[in-house]
Structure 1
Amino acid sequence: MRLIWIGCLLLAGLLPVQAQKKQHKDTRREQLSDSALLTLVQQRTFNYFWKFAHPVSGLAPERTVTPDTVTIGGSGFGVMSILVGIERGFITREQGLDRLLKIVNFLFTANHYHGIWPHWMNGATGQTIPFSRKDDGGDVVESAFMFQGLLCVRQYFTGSSEKETVLRNKITWLWNEAEWSWYTRDGQPVLYWHWSPNNGWSMNHPIHGYNECLIAYILAVASPTYPASPKIYHEGWAMSNYFKNGKKYYGMKLPLGFDYGGPLFFAHYSFLGLDPRGLKDRYADYWEQNRNHTLINRQYCIENPKKYKGYSADCWGLTASDSYQFYDAHSPTNDLGVITPTAALSSFPYTPEYSMQALKYFYYKVGDHLWGEYGFYDAFSESRNWFDYQYLAIDQGPIVVMIENYRSGLLWKLFMSCPEIQAGLKKLEFTSPAIQ
């Protein structure tokens, strides 16, 4: 999970030990309709993946201070954002098609490990940038986020032109070459997060739920060429001390996961394409899971047991992000007084009225302390008068995509239309109105 990223990021020198404070003058903002405000936020945030993309690869930099280090997972969210950009008229279909061809052509030649990309790579060369000393190979979770996006792209471009045909075929080729079964470490009933040609399985990180990695399991079972057995889901993913929950918090039942749900990105990353509406398996109703997780997170901020300045029904949302000292996975059980806009904004499908309430607070009340060239900065703490000055791809992408899923269901429709995904979900005994 992202909890293990923090130390690696600090060791890699990609995070400041003490983030800087910004001084801004507050400015009065023109009052916009809700629809216009949503479009503005989507467009500004989309520009991170469009204007700030690496010029050679078209992939998304990890964050604004690392323009040459591109991230596979954040770029997977980015390719989904490009589809939103086309649909919303921020760019033309042809512009989006050309950019996506650039990205896919680059991914063809970039380093991969049994068809699985590394977490980070050089945006100009495609060479692996180690995430930590031993994490210098394939990252099955980051790659799952990318494949989730690429499959949406494949389902979107259904035209008969040469460009669209080439794009579809290359995505299918990449998808077919990903050896998900390799990452079961010789057929064990669980997925392993990392493998390296230099260090083998020494990271030794089997992926147990519940967290953001659900999509990796679904893709592994759905693979048409290197599928893993459904056993990995039931005997690996669903087997941990923090998988089943079933307790109530503020009167709301949480079927799965940590106490109070953990950071809110658990309700976002796997569900950018995977449609949680009516999605159920033997363990949970995933709409109930995600909505209640969001409501619990919000209610904790309203209750505000640590009495942090600013926390309220207007200002809520705890998830992994930058903090005033380091990157951290904020949650009700790890509350440092830091609000992260992506938490509430990426929850629009689950809590539209409450997310709009937060959006208006961020935009009109916090104002220029928080709003910049690519939308809302990553995080802020009113208690410490600290406002971040950076953007992170992994946090920006879900804002664009989940607001669009709230508005039109675009990415949910595309991903769920994949025949391989339908077959994989059936193998895992999921039910959903979207499964034919």
Structure 2
Amino acid sequence: MRPEQHPRAAPFLAAGACAPSDAALLDLIQRQTFRFFWDFAHPVCGLARDRLDKHGQGGDLVAIGGSGFGVMAIIVAAARGWIGRDEALARMQKILRHLADVPRYHGVFPHFIDGRTGATVPFGAKDDGGDIVETAFLFQGLLSTRQYFSRDTAAEAALREMIDRLWRSVEWNWHTRGGRPVLYWHWSPNHGWARDHQIRGWNECLIAYVLAAASPDHAIDAEAYHRGWAAGPDFVNGQRYYGLELPLGPAFGGPLCFAHYSFLGLSPAGLVDRYADYWQQNVRHALIHYRHSVKNPNGHPGYGPQCWGLTASDGPHGYDVHTPDHDPGVIAPTAALSSMPYVPAEAIAALRHFLVLGDRIWGECGFTSGFSTRGQWASADSIAIDQGPIVVMIENHRTGLLWKLFMSCPEVGRALARLGLRSNGHGA
């Protein structure tokens, strides 16, 4: 797709223009945001750059988790006919060839790689090896891709085999440090378990436990889910915020990415266990953020029913995690837009407002990461882990496509049963 084939916001904002339909706006946002992962992917490996500026310019830093979100966006584009199925297949072949050559650590991918060489780029001190959460985000996308390319052709069968080889090589149980009842986030060939970061809920990491339990060859025991993930100090909540009882999570639910990252493929519709109804959890979490903006206890200018949504995003002083109890007045478009399945009317209202802000927050790859409602500051960049959920969750709202694909994986169904999670078995 050439850049000029993609719509821009301006025609929808022209003075005197007829108000566009919701469907037209969703087409616009999905298609423009998809460009992050298609037109502006890393040219060598086809994976997603970590961030791009408003003109689509970026460096060689590639995000593994963001690339998992990106391959799901490619599926959306193929299903909607923005690209051909064969084009999508060819891009996925390129991506998988490069992933096969990326250094892995007991099969686990690092957080960042160099898009030119595939070499690990340390995320931080002593974080220069395997990242089980980013790997889970990647495989949520790859398994959905495997289910999408299901035709009985040599090319699609070969693609499925490439995904399965990578999938079966991940030693999820290695990240229990010898069978402890919890997953550990990082392992380094140079520093071992020095980061010592246990993954306990509630946060964005549920998908890591589901996929670790789903592994055909290296599965974790259910005990790790119940004694590790569900034993976190912020797991059970039960308090009321803005009139809504929140089953799980920290105060006010935390950043809205908790309701997005694990649920791009894992459908919360009908997903229930002894701890929560996950649809109810995510709907209430989104509504708490919405009501926080409407009530606006901090008096931020511009907040209201059309301007809401806090999550991890760029801010005037750098990347930060924004929540109702840590709210410096930075709105992240991805927070409201990726909540489209949970609160569609509120998300559409926010979308129309964000478009009115125009080029301040809109660029070649859709919306930027965040903007301040005080003054004119706005992030210069779009970020892979923001853009992917916008495309995917809007599609899940519209058709349930990614939920249906991921939930059709037989390994996922077995894992949910193993962990005590009951599901309606489909995406919508």
TM-score normalised over the length of structure 1: 0.93
* 2:43 match: secondary structure: coil
Q: Distance in 1 between matches of 2:315 and 2:72?
A: 27
User: Residue by residue, what CA displacement relative to the aligned partner does 1:395-418 show, whole Å, maximum 9, x if unpaired?
Assistant: 000000000000000000000000
- How do 1:168-179 residues align onto structure 2 when only pairs under 5 Å count? 168-179=160-171
Shift of 1:28: 3.0
Shift of 1:384: 2.7
Shift of 1:27: 6.3
Q: Distance in 1 between matches of 2:329 and 2:52?
A: 23
Equivalent of residue 402 in structure 1, options 366, 376, 393: 393
User: Residue by residue, what CA displacement relative to the aligned partner does 1:354-376 show, whole Å, maximum 9, x if unpaired?
Assistant: 0000000001x212211111111
1:10 counterpart residue number: none
1:432 counterpart residue number: 423
Q: How many residues align?
A: 411
1:11 counterpart residue number: none
- How do 1:117-136 residues align onto structure 2 when only pairs under 5 Å count? 117-136=109-128
Aligned AA for 1:425? Answer: L
- How do 1:33-432 residues align onto structure 2 when only pairs under 5 Å count? 33-64=21-52, 66-363=58-355, 365-432=356-423
**Aligned partners of 2:404 and 2:426 also within 8 Å:** no
* 2:152 match: secondary structure: coil
Is the counterpart of residue 28 in structure 1 residue 14 in structure 2? yes
Q: Distance in 2 between matches of 1:296 and 1:373?
A: 31
User: Residue by residue, what CA displacement relative to the aligned partner does 1:243-293 show, whole Å, maximum 9, x if unpaired?
Assistant: 100111111110000110000000000000000011001100000000000
**Aligned partners of 2:129 and 2:188 also within 8 Å:** yes
1:6 counterpart residue number: none
Higher relative contact order structure (alpha carbons within 8 Å, sequence separation ≥ 6): 1
Shift of 1:133: 2.1
Q: Distance in 1 between matches of 2:192 and 2:310?
A: 35
* 2:100 match: secondary structure: helix
**Aligned partners of 2:267 and 2:426 also within 8 Å:** no
* 2:357 match: secondary structure: helix
Q: Distance in 1 between matches of 2:198 and 2:63?
A: 22
* 2:62 match: secondary structure: strand
User: What runs of 5+ residues in structure 1 fail to find an aligned partner?
Assistant: 1-23
Shift of 1:435: 6.9
* 1:238 match: secondary structure: helix
* 2:216 match: secondary structure: coil
User: What runs of 5+ residues in structure 2 fail to find an aligned partner?
Assistant: 1-9
Aligned AA for 2:81? Answer: G
Q: Distance in 1 between matches of 2:129 and 2:409?
A: 28
Alpha-carbon RMSD: 1.4
Q: Identity over aligned residues, as a percent?
A: 55
Q: Which runs of 4+ in 1 moved over 6 A?
A: none
**Aligned partners of 1:422 and 1:435 also within 8 Å:** no
Q: Distance in 1 between matches of 2:165 and 2:142?
A: 11
Shift of 1:89: 1.4
User: Residue by residue, what CA displacement relative to the aligned partner does 1:159-191 show, whole Å, maximum 9, x if unpaired?
Assistant: 122210110001011111100000001110000
User: Residue by residue, what CA displacement relative to the aligned partner does 1:17-66 show, whole Å, maximum 9, x if unpaired?
Assistant: xxxxxxx9x96364321101100100000000001101111000011164
Going from structure 1 to structure 2, the CA distance change for 1:342 and 1:435 (only over 3 Å counts) comes to: closer
Aligned AA for 2:271? Answer: L
Aligned AA for 1:241? Answer: P
Q: Distance in 2 between matches of 1:176 and 1:368?
A: 45
